[in-house]
Structure 1
Amino acid sequence: MKHLFITGATGNIGYEVTKHLSKSDLPHEIFVGVRDVGKASALFKDFSNLNLRHFDFENPDTYSALSGMDRVFLLRPPHLSNIEKNFRPLLEYIKKSHIRDIVFLSVQGAEKSKVIPHNKIEQLIKDYGLNHIFLRPSYFMQNLTTTLLSDIQTKREIILPAGSARFNWVDADNIGELGALLLDQFEIYKNQALEITGYENKNFQEVTHLINEIIRNPLRYRNINPFRFYRMKHQEGMPKGMIMVMILLHFLPRFQKEPEISSIYERLTHKKPGDLGTFIRREKSKLDVL
């Protein structure tokens, strides 16, 4: 039996990893690191076999929550972009604590772009000599119902510097399922990088058109340049680091090849990944604000 530690357990992907581990009958003990144990207890009240520990990426005093762990599911919270400040100390602690195995939630194409935070974290993990699996998903469908939701609900717009670049869309549920599987079968895929994608490459014009076919109150996609996007989000109070990461993730694909489609999810789970239409219908109540 392994002791598994999940970071970011109350966020999109961490929650899905926790969910899939909890509902499985795998012979592991599951620990989740959360900033507020009380709130998390309510969130996970229907989950079985969970141990909650106080953990905060920005507070090294909480790193002791990792004591006794064998494997860690590591992700980067969206607002943290200073890798030297927030991740080097954590990885040093992991190394000194003799935790050898990390499944890191990276991003598709991280190995090709040294400017994005995920690339730097991958390199740090290698530098510390840790056994790893880099799980590199494509663009989350859930961005529509989290990061982009405020503009959708209040302005009826998706506002990004993405031009007509095509993104591959993947459901967080599929990522979480694969993350749980990799934590269990770590030795099989150790020291590999695995891309997880859906089977649809669509730009935001196409996605907006698809959404409007399903909802009643239509929205539109507005492409703006990165400088205007930065000013707008800064005025709205978004942290500077998060704005820069959003620009990198949405602007750089305009100058890159269309994303490659991976069959890794279907090969490992023997199921097809979720599609955008199903996701939009599932989340219609959030997107169709009248």
Structure 2
Amino acid sequence: MIDLAGKSALREVTTVAAPWRRGRVTRRVLLALGWLLLGIPVALAVLGPLVAPSTRPGDVPLQPPGGAHLLGTDVFGRDVLGLALAGGTSVVLLTAASLALAYAVAVPLGLVVAAGARLAEDLVIRALDVVLALPSLLVLMALAATGRRGVGWLVLAVALVQVPYVVRLVRGAAAAPACLTALETMTLVGEPWWRVHLLETGRRVLPPVLVNAATRVVTVVGLLSSANFLGVGLAPAAVDWAVLVDQNMTALFLAPAVVLVPAGLLVALCAGTNLLVDELLERRVRAVTG
């Protein structure tokens, strides 16, 4: 009887623990997948130009993979492997620059709005609502129409359309009950305004800001890619994954690798970032809650 009872208890414990083990394995797989998907395009962006073969045009266009061109050539006769290795640097740099500029403006502005007077808060939010109402592509079209087609203007425009979303996120996170309670306590004990409403509030809104930044990678990469269709930003001859997709769309069925390779790297960059940040944030939440 004791043995039977012990075996029964063991089966019950194993049955209860099995979903946890499966969940833990799934999380590990997702974390590894996130690192892999993000690591490949980032590694290519950093190291690819050092080992990329020549990307000069002039060879036979749309050659199939093999021989001197492992992935074939594009519509201009450029080596697709060389373009894939060298074309990620501009994508990563422009995405990082756009996000850094947007959050460098929006996070402090959101903290000040959350801590400011009601009238000032309403004025800032209403002004940002005007920007929020503008379709992102309309802003890019305005750049193209006015002749402002440089990379600097592109980064500024992409960052601008992200600012209202981030300000609203920071403002909402700063108004959370747990955050307000901690800030009121610090104010009562005589902490200075800047420490309460900038440093402490900034620390508390950091997790949702990081998650939001990861999800905005997809939006920013999409806008930067769309800008090529409007002739804004990079030159048509630039070695860039998004430009490569734009230039070779008509050859999708003749030479699929010309489009699918850079498009796949763009998807991997976005998906890997989201997976990795989601898993890391979940680990942080579990560590805090025990």
**TM bracket (short chain):** under 0.3
| More helix, by proportion | 2
TM-score, normalised to structure 1's length?
0.22
TM-score, normalised to structure 2's length?
0.22
| More strand, by proportion | 1
**Bigger relative CO (Cα 8 Å, ≥ 6 apart):** 2
Query: Who wins on radius of gyration, i.e. which is larger?
Result: 2
